Amino acid sequence: VAPPAVVSDLRSAVGDAHVLVDEDARAGYETDWSGRYTGRAVAVVRPGTTHEVAEVLRICRTAGVDVVPQGGNTGLVGGGVPRPEGSTERPAIVLSTRRLGGVSAADPDAMQLTAGAGVTIAEWQAAARAVGLDAPLDFAARDSATVGGAIATNAGGSRVLRFGTMRSQVAGIEAVLADGRVVGSLAGLPKETAGLHWPSVLTGSEGTLAVVTAARLRLVPRFEHVVTALVATASIGEAVDLTGRLRRQLGSLDSVEIIDPAALALVGGHLGRAAPVTPPPGGAALLVECAGHVDPTSDLVAALGDIAGDSAVAVDPLQRAHLIAFRDRITEAMNQASAGGVPPFKLDVAVPLGALEELAAVARRAAADDGCRLIAFGHLAEGNLHLNHLGARDPATIAATVLSAVADLGGTISAEHGIGIAKTPWLHLVRSSADLGAQAAVRAALDPAGILNPGVLAPRPPAIGRAATPTAPQVP
Ligand code: 2HG
Ligand code: ZN
């Protein structure tokens, strides 16, 4: 039940219309995009300015109310929705940053613009294109995911091989600390050595250190010529070799995405049309894009070599969209396949490219042992696989097996979705206790009352033995 004094204080800070207390109004903010993580907020608060964000944080700190920052709510690890009922001592609000909109001061010479935290990735792209440039980031949730959320999770997506993750795009940042003080700068100076670099400190901090309110963002050239290819390889090893060759030969290479045969069949069924290529079992389909100021099609076809035989290449925007749909709409296809039942159990992992084939084999075995259906796809150039388990009986055992193997292979338990609350039991696999202790000290220094996103990114005691099953509250 909402402490009434807090709700009325929040109403005076941001206006009645922007404090949502009705169950129906809150519902869309209380469950994340995965459908697996849900909790209750005493209110959803939607500040419209940095000053209002500061007021909201001061009110919550004084009242002892937790704050869960949320952008477009496209998260998949439970980090942007209230914690599960019964798992926290204090009430929580969702602080939605969606009203912190507005794009301003595009500078085509410096190739930067300033965006509010609530600006979507698609709006960032549109604003860049309006000045003849482009945004360096792209992924399927572009219409809802926000700049603030992308910073909080260090989002990646499909263009990372060319331009880097969100971390590389943030030239300046403005953020509010838990006590309401504002830090950072939106000057966007490419060179500056005058102390801590707030974009570096806050990117990937998952709403635990401050609430990001605006950012100075990098822009990249807008390429007139784009070519998309869907190609089949006989094995993952062959796919990795091809990726290396494309990277070395093609300065125009924008993305190399991977789709396993089961994922390709599932999305084909969802789209109502078969894919133009058929990778054999154990093989993969790759979605490759090149973009340049001159048409890169013949370079791409030459670099594909023999593999060009089993491929579909498109330049026409509509035909390109037809190919891209086989990659972009897999998540939607899985959600539809599991509609009404338990949502897919997701692992977002990355390993060094040379270990990808082994990781795929481990994942296949873990899914077979469980008896679930594995849908694997992802961002090949970064060795990043999205392992989705449909109808998993024992997700905690799958996670323990796969994540331990990932750590042994020199990889990471989260490549781009973040730790949230979903991956906290396995943080110790990839972070030492010295590392986790130092992170906890930084967090305590910036937010001594611990109101910012409690439970998120918080390591939990390691299970006894690597293969043991940790108890995870939201891993049914
Ligand atoms: C993507 O690459 C997203 O499409 C979502 O990261 C992945 O649904 C998923 O597992
Ligand atoms: Zn992804």
pLDDT of residue 470: 37
First to last CA, the chain: 27
386 Cα to the center of ligand 1, angstroms: 6
386 Cα to the center of ligand 2, angstroms: 7
pLDDT of residue 475: 41
User: Residue whose CA is closest, atom 8 of ligand 1?
Assistant: 331
pLDDT of residue 266: 98
What is the C-alpha separation between 181 and 56, in angstroms, rounded? 12
Q: Is 159 in the pocket of ligand 1 (CB under 6 A)?
A: no
User: Residue whose CA is closest, atom 4 of ligand 1?
Assistant: 140
Query: What does the pLDDT look like over 186-233, one tens digit per residue?
Result: 999 999 999 999 999 999 999 999 999 999 999 999 999 999 999 999
pLDDT of residue 468: 34
At residue 199's C-alpha, the angle toward residues 197 and 200, to 5°, is: 70
Which ligand is nearest to the Cα of residue 259, counting in written order? 1
Q: Is 414 in the pocket of ligand 1 (CB under 6 A)?
A: no
373 Cα to the center of ligand 2, angstroms: 19
Tell me the C-alpha to C-alpha distance, in Å, between residue 414 and each of 50, 113, 346: 30, 29, 11
Query: What does the pLDDT look like over 255-308, one tens digit per residue?
Result: 999 999 999 999 999 999 999 999 999 999 999 999 999 999 999 999 999 887
**Residue numbers of the chain with a pLDDT score lower than 50:** 463-476
pLDDT of residue 465: 36
pTM equals 0.95
pLDDT of residue 3: 67
Closest alpha carbon to 160 in 391, 378, 419:
378
Q: Is residue 7 within 8 Å of 21, Cβ to Cβ?
A: yes
pLDDT of residue 2: 58
Q: Is 346 in the pocket of ligand 1 (CB under 6 A)?
A: yes
pLDDT of residue 471: 39
pLDDT of residue 464: 40
pLDDT of residue 476: 33
Give the orientation angle of helix 50-63 with respect to helix 4-14, to 10 degrees: 170
pLDDT of residue 432: 95
Q: Is 389 in the pocket of ligand 1 (CB under 6 A)?
A: no
Q: Is 443 in the pocket of ligand 1 (CB under 6 A)?
A: no
Q: Is 153 in the pocket of ligand 1 (CB under 6 A)?
A: no
